Structure 1
Amino acid sequence: MHNHGLGAWPSKRRLKTPDKSALVFDGDVLTYRQFADAVDSMSALLWHRGIRKGDRVAYLGENSPEFLEVLFGCAQLGAVFVPINTRLATPEIAHVLHDSGARALIHDPEFAGEVEATADRMRVAHIIQTGDRSSDGARGLALALREMRSGHADAVVALDDPAAIVYTSGTTGKAKGAVLTHGNLTWVALNCIVDYDVVSTDVALMISPLFHVASLGMGALPVILKGGTMVLERRFEPGRALELIERHGITMLSGVPTTYQMLADHPDWATTDVSSLTKLTCGGSAVPTRILNAYEERGLSFTQGYGMTETSPGATSLSPTMTRAKQGSVGLPHFFTEVRIADEHGDMVPRGTVGEIQIAGPNVFPGYHELPEASAAAFTADGWFRSGDLGYLDADGYLFISDRLKDMIISGGENIYPAEVENLISDLDGVTGVAVIGIPDEQWGEVPWAIVTVRDGMTVDTETVRAHLEGALARYKLPKRVVVVDELPRTASGKVRKADLRARFTSAA
């Protein structure tokens, strides 16, 4: 076996569990034999389009079998999969395509407009639309796959070879591509199998977008590795999700606090049979007590965790048995992962002392795509990843998050880096200063607010700012509210004291 990466998984599953249900989508069932055959056809198609080891293949689309078939098809060839967040604005999509150097782009029909708008700014050799034909009559992916006859050449793939480039919002305004290796994604799947007790009889409902590494690395991959079944949904709709849980006897569900809140708030929550659920995993932010109570009343409890794209993404997990005893904690390091706390000088600190969270393990990425300086800065001299987050380990080794050095906002599970939004708001005529902060929100966890100073005689309000940003940023990044102040609180060195702003405006929200 020359392919030691993800590309070998489908054929091994075809050998071991050929008739087991792998994917359920739109009422259709794909066995592991059918899934592996589809992956073979996908890799053959990419091969005949000239895709070779190291080439990047981008995918812009919602959850579907094609998403996974392209991922594993790339992995067979040693090509690199580039999932694109469907919520990104056109300029953001163009950046991902240009920065990654994608040679091929596969996209769903509903994103044809965005693809066409980026065409003059990218150098993609092959653009393929899912379905039989694109709007201009060109052969679509489904038709091209049905016409595919011959296979592809096997590639030699090692665990250290890149498998995917996943873009994470940049602290300086541009998204950075985190390179995840085959080993990174294999080890994060193993971490989940060990710590979440994933088994072959699990039936997982995938309602979170697979373009997020949490849904992919900690949801889809461990299920496939163990030979479980995935029920794929294009997008999340709470009423339909509840219906699917009861119909398919769903055992495994992952999401962010907003996901679980919307399920519990739905009128069908009280009458839906949820007794099959045994694994509820939640990330992004802590589960509010109200949601914990609602699920515990139904006999359900959560595994919570902490991580980031650069750790593929899992770093820690809090088991359901410790949800109350360690409430507020994000848990212990995953089985094959280590966490430590360091002070500003890089020295380790005692238990209970706040410092920077640093992470090591085979799930930690090797660096950012074509950004050697940023990659070097992301690691300590002895090879630990610097998360940029502040926290402490208690006496039992459980991690608690204290603050985020990077001021990242997490809204409905989506990461928002203020610098990216601030840079664009600063271009607005009349704005003399801006700070974007996260304000607690019952539904989304946090929402961005923009606190601005304005030149005398000028008027800047929420509508003005949102209109200025519309089309340039994903809508979830647009400030929910814009507040004009006389001046922004600053340190002696001139940096905005965002903690002061958060304290002031959280109480006013």
Structure 2
Amino acid sequence: MGRPTVASVVNRVAQRARGLMVLYRAGLAPVPRLDEGIRSLIATRRYGPLAGSVRIAARRDPQAVGLVDETGPLTFTQLDLRSNALARAWSARGVRSGDTVAVLCRDHRNLVLTLLAAGKLGAPVLLLNTGFAKPQLTDVAVRERVRVLVHDDEFTDLLGDITGVDRYRAWQEPGRPDPQPDTPTLEDVIAGSDDHPLPAPPKPGGLVLLTSGTTGTPKGAPRPAISPLDSAQFLDRIPLRVGEATFLGAPLFHATGLSQFILSCALGCTVVVRRKFDPEETLRGVAEHRCTALVLVPTMLERVLDLDPEVRARYDTSSLRILFLAGSALSPEVGNRATEVFGDVVHNLYGSTEVAVATVATPEDWRRAPGTVGRPPVGCRVELYDDEGRRITAPDVTGRVFVGSGLAFTGYTDGRSRDTIDGLIATGDVGHRDADGLLFIDGRDDEMIVSGGENVYPVEVENVLVEHPEVREAAVIGVPDERFGQRLKAFVVLRPGSVLDAEAVREHVRGTLARYKVPRDVEFLDLLPRNATGKVLRHTLA
């Protein structure tokens, strides 16, 4: 590595200055209380961004509500004290800094308390996906050397092959038989422990997120220690503010939900969660708690929009300033419907487990170019490269997407990493920019279909399909063809009462796209196979 150039140093200083301004605008920069700023920096450095933020929020306003779940509210002070008790109990049972704590839970208070307690012990938390199969969970637990396993009762059978770990139950189903009466519950452990603060661990434990696992055993992607300035990457283009309320529909085990939960805690916001997503309950929660932000994956948004208009009208959602969407592609049709229902609040984030945030489309971006994922926020860099590694600067030219971010991972836990160019990490996607510089994602680089020598990305065809008023959702894959190498096959889910047939589907696509992008095969399904964050399981379709 050579010495940094004057231009690179100036750019770095400018980025940091801009980041500070973003934090100040959101209410995070402690001006003029520099003593509070120092305390915040010390807490997050010692305990990590989540446990440190909760401790600071409890100090700032001991009675402020930090979390609301089905069992009621908890203040930041209660979260801090109860996680102290859990951390002390685990410490007494021999859990040490560096021991991995795995958690397989839906979104509720005991999942949050597990994250906080592990942070206070310096124990890495492995967030398991509630949609994974039994063999995937077993393989991951062995590979990551899990020491403690926290889970909801409903997942007991899925975890039966994991041995040699300390188990704790996080959520018990009322009125159902007890599946593991000898396994302690977190509530009992907390109730029997001292809630005084613990000494800081040698270093924060951090978090390990998992890739979607759609093609085998999921890979672990550890999140590094996060600088307060890195949070400006979200706040630069998503106007979250101190002391508001966020309804978190996206699951906490996924990067989308987790990042917004941590950021909301840092802002001292009340976070509202539910164990299982329900579209009407989501609107009820937004109205009841006057939430200013709603965090969803696109399939959840579709379910909200599909509610009867009379049902939606029962709930006052006028407090919403931010409809935050990430985790899978947001089609122009769904984003436009959301804008009609909720107003100019759509914020469409593009990122990945590995790079975190890459770009964000603001409501203004979306109005100008529906379907865009916007521009990089402060501290992020996004470039497109062709297959020979040459940077693409011309508009409307598709290339591989590479991202640089202070929130990016440093490699998978098994030692592997992703392709890099000029210090930027490949996302695995391909995309293009329009003449205004707005980014569009055209699809996965391994999903491109070559039919008769022509390149087709499924998302373009899928977006056209869902624009038909009788189509609820659609997915397109390539299937073998003796003449063309591959041909396009569409899987279509129709809305109730539709009489659309295969030829009508093809005719709809033919009216918008080139002939070679029209699916030769059309199969109708009751629903598409998806994982817990809404991504279509294309290998299942194939």
Q: TM-score range by the shorter chain?
A: 0.7 to 0.9
Contact 1:171 1:406 in 2 (8 A): no
How many Å separate the matches in 2 of 1:144 and 1:4? Answer: 21
- Provide the aligned length of Structure 1 versus Structure 2: 425
SS of aligned partner of 1:328: coil
1:127-276 matched pairs, under 5 angstroms: 127-131=167-171, 135-149=180-194, 152-157=198-203, 163-169=206-212, 173-183=216-226, 189-217=231-259, 219-267=260-308, 268-276=311-319
How many Å separate the matches in 1 of 2:137 and 2:47? Answer: 31
CA RMSD between the two structures? 3.1
Task: Spell out, residue by residue over 1:207-249, the C-alpha distance to the aligned partner (whole angstroms, 9 max, x if none).
Answer: 22111111111x2111100001111111111121122222221
Task: Spell out, residue by residue over 1:140-163, the C-alpha distance to the aligned partner (whole angstroms, 9 max, x if none).
Answer: 1110111112764421326xxx61
Which of 55, 62, 65 aligns to 1:21? It is 65
How many Å separate the matches in 2 of 1:8 and 1:337? Answer: 24
How many Å separate the matches in 1 of 2:344 and 2:521? Answer: 31
Contact 1:318 1:331 in 2 (8 A): yes
TM-score, length basis structure 1: 0.76
How many Å separate the matches in 2 of 1:172 and 1:263? Answer: 30
Contact 2:338 2:346 in 1 (8 A): no
- Which residue in the other structure is 2:55 paired with? 11
SS of aligned partner of 2:216: coil
- Which amino acid counterpart does residue 360 of structure 2 have in structure 1? S
**Aligned-pair distance for 1:4?**
5.9
How many Å separate the matches in 1 of 2:472 and 2:85? Answer: 40
How many Å separate the matches in 2 of 1:501 and 1:53? Answer: 57
Contact 2:84 2:194 in 1 (8 A): no
**Aligned-pair distance for 1:105?**
0.4
How many Å separate the matches in 2 of 1:400 and 1:56? Answer: 38
Contact 2:305 2:337 in 1 (8 A): no
TM-score, length basis structure 2: 0.72
How many Å separate the matches in 2 of 1:19 and 1:97? Answer: 38
Task: Spell out, residue by residue over 1:416-467, the C-alpha distance to the aligned partner (whole angstroms, 9 max, x if none).
Answer: xxxxxxxxxxxxxxxxxxxxx88848588555879589xxxxxxxxxxxxxx
- Which residue in the other structure is 2:519 paired with? 504
How many Å separate the matches in 2 of 1:12 and 1:86? Answer: 31
Which of 404, 407, 410 aligns to 2:444? It is 404
How many Å separate the matches in 1 of 2:478 and 2:414? Answer: 32
Which of 401, 418, 424 aligns to 1:384? It is 424
Task: Spell out, residue by residue over 1:399-427, the C-alpha distance to the aligned partner (whole angstroms, 9 max, x if none).
Answer: 11123113299xxxxxxxxxxxxxxxxxx
Instruction: Tell which deviates more after alignment, 351-360 or 126-135.
Output: 126-135
How many Å separate the matches in 2 of 1:169 and 1:408? Answer: 19
1:293-312 matched pairs, under 5 angstroms: 293-311=337-355
1:319-468 matched pairs, under 5 angstroms: 319-352=362-395, 353-371=397-415, 374-375=416-417, 377-380=418-421, 382-407=422-447, 440=462, 442=466, 445-447=473-475, 451=479
How many Å separate the matches in 2 of 1:445 and 1:181? Answer: 37
**Aligned-pair distance for 1:61?**
0.8
| 1:356–1:3 distance in 2 versus 1, CA, 3 Å | same
| 1:99–1:224 distance in 2 versus 1, CA, 3 Å | same
SS of aligned partner of 1:266: coil
Contact 1:23 1:31 in 2 (8 A): yes
Contact 1:105 1:127 in 2 (8 A): yes
1:33 aligns with 2:77: yes
Task: Among all aligned residue pairs of Structure 1 and Structure 2, give the percentage whose two residues are the same amino acid.
Answer: 25
| 1:501–1:178 distance in 2 versus 1, CA, 3 Å | farther
- Which residue in the other structure is 1:101 paired with? 145
How many Å separate the matches in 2 of 1:27 and 1:128? Answer: 19
**Aligned-pair distance for 1:102?**
0.9
How many Å separate the matches in 2 of 1:445 and 1:179? Answer: 33
How many Å separate the matches in 1 of 2:324 and 2:113? Answer: 25
**Aligned-pair distance for 1:170?**
5.1
How many Å separate the matches in 1 of 2:63 and 2:206? Answer: 27
How many Å separate the matches in 2 of 1:501 and 1:195? Answer: 38
- Which residue in the other structure is 1:467 paired with? none
Task: Spell out, residue by residue over 1:453-506, the C-alpha distance to the aligned partner (whole angstroms, 9 max, x if none).
Answer: 9xxxxxxxxxxxxxxxxxxxxxxxxxxxxxxxxxxxxxxxxxxxxxx9985357
**Aligned-pair distance for 1:390?**
1.1
Instruction: Tell which deviates more after alignment, 390-399 or 61-70.
Output: 390-399
- Which amino acid counterpart does residue 140 of structure 2 have in structure 1? V
